[in-house]
């Protein structure tokens, strides 16, 4: 019933664009590391009114099977501020259609009356006792994209087998039901409730559980600049700073309000570093603010930059921020825990492609460290499991600037991370230290962890498959490479097939993930490098890290060795020229 997307298909048909039609209509959306995500537009593998209705009908069918009290407990729906005029598609409209499908089936729906950060949806699912929730967002993806992120009753993103079962249910009911197109139901149905005030108030109150130096915050002279990257973050970060006793951060005026075109940045991903933080860094210099915090468009991730003594800015990587957060959350726990608290009951987590710095801190301090598959959906589920077994989880992260401080939200959360980093910077200033100086202290104490992450773009799935299949049949059929240039390989782990040469039974401890490509190489020189496909974008990512023991740390030597190894990895394993790959900076 969407005139714009109908016209897109009709025009393709009239112009005889049969390949494009096949690409759009002959495959369905599947669940990646962050739910369903694709470009907005016409077709069954795109995000549009129809595919969102179909997805919600499938979810309704699956939840009805699994929960006898589904209709009474209800379902949470949130959305960001994305939109596309050419396909008459916006996050709010798609959220209204999501709600309509459920309201027409007499389900109680908690529909936020305005845009919210992604973490508000999993938080609301737990707070309201709902069976599940959906957030309409494509996070930091390009402006053409949108997505559909599903949370289970435990407040974590869905993992297998739920995702596969939901896909089956979607395929069983692709014809829209009566009422599914009625987006006005959110304004007229008595079963629709607006959870905004209750959830926002409760979230800000819960946030104070991880505020440890309120009196310092109130007196602090340190200034912060915040950019919300044309997304949802502004209002909520302002409230979070207030909850911690801070003066509000200075907003970047050009990026403060929602803009679906993200008109001041070439891509709305704060992870891209200084090039996309230009406006906030210049404002910080003008305002004499030493720290910049940047939330991505749906405010679930956080980038941080700090001005150094020489006037230059240091933009921290996700792994560097995790070292700071890990040190901070453990120090605060140690200072505030009860006398009989057992450090062996304490946990921190990271995804397997992230830095091993938390492992080093855990080994020295006596708490537990665990790894999961890439994607916060795995962290959220595991954290819930640990909490249910009486464990205490302080912090979890993924290297792509996703952080979970505390356990009020079982997903990454840029709002809480922003205010925790502000408190950390304030405390360090009282000790005459900067974030960058503290980071060096942490590495000196626990061992240097030098890592580098980047990616190549590849829009041809068969090429990606060929690259990874070559690695699985390198010198002979079914044999992995034994070296990469001059670097000898000690172990290989292939999450796609479940192989791990370091295990006695040659089977990976982490679960197999056949739907994505991921191979990890452990080198004789101590470097660990992973090649994997992105779950949300057409990318081949690489991650590499050199880990040194405390006291064995000549940083420049480690950095040089890592750089040479990465060059060998790219040249020998990815072969960008031969495979037509585009490097990230190009």
**Of residues 378, 328, 326, 372, the one with CA closest to residue 350:** 372
Q: What pLDDT sits at residue 468?
A: 97
* DSSP characters over 25-66: HSS----BBTBEEEEBSSSTTSBSHHHHHHHHHHHHHHHHHH
549-573: b (≥16 Cβ within 10 Å) or e: eeeeeeeeebeebbeebbebbbeeb
Q: What is the pairing mode between strands 392-398 and 346-351?
A: parallel
Q: Is the confidence at residue 53, as pLDDT, over 50? A: yes
Q: What pLDDT sits at residue 30?
A: 87
* C-alpha torsion sign, points 559, 538, 168, 87: positive
**Of residues 333, 316, 292, the one with CA closest to residue 440:** 316
Q: Which contiguous run of DSSP H or E holds residue 364?
A: helix 357-365
Q: pTM of the prediction?
A: 0.94
Radius of gyration of the chain (CA): 24
CA distance 377 to 458: 25
What's the mean pLDDT in 491-506? 96
Q: Which domains does the chain have, with CATH numbers?
A: 3-201 (3.40.120.10), 319-412 (3.40.120.10), 448-583 (3.30.310.50)
Write out pLDDT tens, residues 109-132: 999 999 999 999 999 999 999 999
Q: What pLDDT sits at residue 585?
A: 58
Cα separations (Å) of 414 from 67, 226, 361, 380, 400?
32, 12, 23, 15, 12
List the structure tokens of 330: 């453990």
CA distance 379 to 214: 29
Q: Is the confidence at residue 240, as pLDDT, over 80? A: yes
Contact present, 358 and 352 (Cβ < 8 Å): no
Task: State the residue for tokens 């305002």.
Answer: 287
Q: What pLDDT sits at residue 527?
A: 94
φ/ψ of residue 515, rounded to 5 = -75, -10
The 8-class DSSP code of residue 491 comes to E
User: So which residues are the catalytic ones?
Assistant: 139
Three-state DSSP at 405 gives strand
Q: Is the confidence at residue 41, as pLDDT, over 50? A: yes
Write out pLDDT tens, residues 13-24: 999 999 999 999
Cα separations (Å) of 9 from 25, 49, 144?
9, 14, 17
Q: What pLDDT sits at residue 586?
A: 38
Q: Is the confidence at residue 165, as pLDDT, over 80? A: yes
What's the mean pLDDT in 363-367? 98
Q: Cα-Cα-Cα-Cα dihedral of 348, 349, 350, 356, to 10°?
A: 50
- Which 3-state string (H, E, C) describes 432-460? CCCHHHHHHHHHHHHCCEEEEEEEEECCC
Contact present, 149 and 92 (Cβ < 8 Å): no
Contact present, 506 and 543 (Cβ < 8 Å): no
What's the mean pLDDT in 570-586? 89
Binned at pLDDT 50, 70 and 90, residue 515 comes out as confident
Q: Is the confidence at residue 555, as pLDDT, over 90? A: no
The fraction of the chain above a pLDDT of 90, given in percent, is 93
CA distance 499 to 479: 11
The 8-class DSSP code of residue 574 comes to I
Q: Is the confidence at residue 553, as pLDDT, over 70? A: no
Q: What pLDDT sits at residue 47?
A: 97
The strand ranges marked E within 326-478 are: 346-351, 368-372, 392-398, 402-405, 449-457
Cis before 484? omega within 30: no
- How confident is the prediction for the chain on average, in pLDDT? 96
Write out pLDDT tens, residues 457-489: 999 999 999 999 999 999 999 999 999 999 999
CA distance 562 to 558: 6
Q: What pLDDT sits at residue 352?
A: 95
CA distance 370 to 348: 7
9-27: b (≥16 Cβ within 10 Å) or e: beebeeeeeeeebeebeee
Contact present, 258 and 232 (Cβ < 8 Å): yes
Q: Is the confidence at residue 174, as pLDDT, over 80? A: yes
Write out pLDDT tens, residues 257-302: 999 999 999 999 999 999 999 999 999 999 999 999 999 999 999 9
Output the CA angle 309-314-319, nearest 5 degrees. 135
CA distance 67 to 74: 11
- The residue with greater pLDDT, 512 or 231, is 231
**Of residues 120, 129, 175, the one with CA closest to residue 295:** 120
CA distance 231 to 119: 14
Write out pLDDT tens, residues 306-351: 999 999 999 999 999 999 999 999 999 999 999 999 999 999 999 9
What's the mean pLDDT in 152-163? 93
Q: Which contiguous run of DSSP H or E holds residue 132?
A: strand 132-136
């Amino acid at each position: 019933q969407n005139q714009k997307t109908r016209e897109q298909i009709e025009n393709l048909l009239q112009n005889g664009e049969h390949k494009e039609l096949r690409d759009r209509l002959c495959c369905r959306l599947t669940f990646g590391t962050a739910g369903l995500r694709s470009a907005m537009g016409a077709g069954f593998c795109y995000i549009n009114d129809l595919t969102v209705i179909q997805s919600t009908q499938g979810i309704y069918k699956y939840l009805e099977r699994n929960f006898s009290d589904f209709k009474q407990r209800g379902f949470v729906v949130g959305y960001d501020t994305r939109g596309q005029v050419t396909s008459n598609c916006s996050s709010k409209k798609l959220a209204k259609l999501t709600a309509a499908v459920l309201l027409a089936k007499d389900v109680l729906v908690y529909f936020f009356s305005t845009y919210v950060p992604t973490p508000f949806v999993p938080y609301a699912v737990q707070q309201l006792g709902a069976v599940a929730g959906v957030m309409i967002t494509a996070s930091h993806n390009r402006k053409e994209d949108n997505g559909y992120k599903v949370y289970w009753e435990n407040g974590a993103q869905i993992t297998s087998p739920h995702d596969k079962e939901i896909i089956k249910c979607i395929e069983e009911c692709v014809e829209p039901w009566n009422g599914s197109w009625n987006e006005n139901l959110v304004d007229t149905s008595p079963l629709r409730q607006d959870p905004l005030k209750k959830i926002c108030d409760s979230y800000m109150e819960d946030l104070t559980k991880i505020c440890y130096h309120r009196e310092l915050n109130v007196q602090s002279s340190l200034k912060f600049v915040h950019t919300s990257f044309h997304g949802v973050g502004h209002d909520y970060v302002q409230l979070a700073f207030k909850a911690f006793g801070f003066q509000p951060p200075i907003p970047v005026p050009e990026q403060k309000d929602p803009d679906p075109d993200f008109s001041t940045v070439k891509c709305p991903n704060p992870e891209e570093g200084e090039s996309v933080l230009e406006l906030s860094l210049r404002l910080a210099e003008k305002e004499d603010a030493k720290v910049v915090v940047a939330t991505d468009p749906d405010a679930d991730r956080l980038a941080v930059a700090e001005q150094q003594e020489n006037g230059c800015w240091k933009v921290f990587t996700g792994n560097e921020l995790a070292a700071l957060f890990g040190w901070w959350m453990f120090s605060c726990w140690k200072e505030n825990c009860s006398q009989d608290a057992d450090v062996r009951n304490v946990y921190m987590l990271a995804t397997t492609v992230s830095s091993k710095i938390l492992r080093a801190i855990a080994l020295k301090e006596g708490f537990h460290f665990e790894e999961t598959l890439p994607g916060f959906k795995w962290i959220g589920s595991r954290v819930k499991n640990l909490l249910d077994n009486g464990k205490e989880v302080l912090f979890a992260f993924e290297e792509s600037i996703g952080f979970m401080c505390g356990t009020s939200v079982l997903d990454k959360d840029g709002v809480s991370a922003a205010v925790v980093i502000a408190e950390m910077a304030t405390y360090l200033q009282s000790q005459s230290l900067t974030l960058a100086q503290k980071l060096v202290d942490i590495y000196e104490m626990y061992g240097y962890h030098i890592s580098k992450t980047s990616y190549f773009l590849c829009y041809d799935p068969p090429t990606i498959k060929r690259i990874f299949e070559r690695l699985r049949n390198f010198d002979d059929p079914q044999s992995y490479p034994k070296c990469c240039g001059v670097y000898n390989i000690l172990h290989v782990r292939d999450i796609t097939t479940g192989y791990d040469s370091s295990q006695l039974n040659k089977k990976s401890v982490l679960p197999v993930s056949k739907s994505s490509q991921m191979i990890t190489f452990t080198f004789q020189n101590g470097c660990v490098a992973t090649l994997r496909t992105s779950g949300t974008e057409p990318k081949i990512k690489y991650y590499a890290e050199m880990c040194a023991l405390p006291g064995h740390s000549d940083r420049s030597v480690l950095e040089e060795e890592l750089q040479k190894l990465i060059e060998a990895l790219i040249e020998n394993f990815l072969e960008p020229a031969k495979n037509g790959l585009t490097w990230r900076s190009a």
